[in-house]
Amino acid sequence: MDQDHLFSQTEDKSHLKAMGLSEHLGELRVRLTRSVGAIVVFFIIAFSFADDIMNYIKLPLMDALPEGNKALHFTGPMDVLVANMKLSFLAAIVLSCPVWLYHFWRFLEPALYQHEKKYIFPFILTSISLFTAGVCFCFFIMVPMTLDFLIGYGLEVGTAIITITDYVSLLMILIFGFGIVFETPLIIVLLALLDLVSAQTLKDNRKIVLIGTLVLAALLTPPDPISQLAMAVPTYLMYEIALWIVVFLKRDNKQSPSHAA
């Protein structure tokens, strides 16, 4: 049975040997070109509506600021232009995520065994959904909580003068961060499919992951327990979801014809 399994794995990946370095680099170039092209297109569209986007994304800040001081400030003549460009780039990354996530997974597809390639399109759809969920969770939950805490804390000792540069930079860090964090389950599943981690390893490291999640939440969120738990709990739950998926996929692979004795 072990010999048959080894033979099936070798047969599954035999097509990779036919692809040289130039073919891999050519495939990477095509995927990157199409992904960057989509981002550029969405950047141009988003920049055309930069003022409308700015008026919308500043709503959480306006709610957090005290009455009589609900305004964004700029300190240099280029601040608004640069902020609009950053915001347009952020919007382009979010809006074009179906394109660059699609090309990311299609580029990784040759690294999977033949019986694992059926998961590619579920992976693509799930990764798009998770990234979008991370962005929405960040903007509608984490950003208001973070701003309420930070501005409330600062008002105890001074007056809030929030610049457009600082606000957009904070949004970019939080939104990109949560978008990537919400991809954790698929990254773990991918590592498992590539035989870089096992389900048992994931089970054995639960406590370490839990502690690491709490530490990461403490570093990336304001020093209040509500914000930290709002990030730590979903992150750890996604780890458990990934573990369940890995166990299911490994069981399914063992029952597939290519693994039969």
Q: What is the pLDDT of residue 96?
A: 96
Backbone angle region of 68, left / alpha / beta, with phi > 0 → left and psi within -120 to 50 → alpha: left
Distance CA 14, CA 203 (A): 32
What is the per-residue pLDDT for 222?
Answer: 64
- Tokens describing residue 211: 């502690």
pLDDT in tens, 40-68: 999 999 999 999 999 999 999 999 999 88
* pLDDT at residue 51, rounded to an integer: 93
- Rounded distance between C-alpha atoms, residue 77 and residue 212, angstroms: 42
Coarse DSSP helix, strand, coil percentages of the chain, rounded to the nearest 5 percent: 80, 0, 20
Residue that is written with structure tokens 């509500």 in the block: 226
Positions in the chain whose pLDDT score sits under 50: 1-18, 258-261
How confident is the model at residue 254, as a pLDDT?
Answer: 61
Per-residue model confidence (pLDDT) at position 241: 86
- With a CB cutoff of 8 Å and minimum separation 6, the contacts of 181 are 134, 231, 235, 238
Q: Where along the chain do its domains lie?
A: 21-182, 185-255
Residue range 202-239, pLDDT digits in tens: 889 999 999 988 888 787 766 667 777 877 888 888 88
Name the E strands within the chain: none
Cα torsion angle, 166, 172, 174, 177, sign: negative
Model's pTM, two decimal places?
0.81
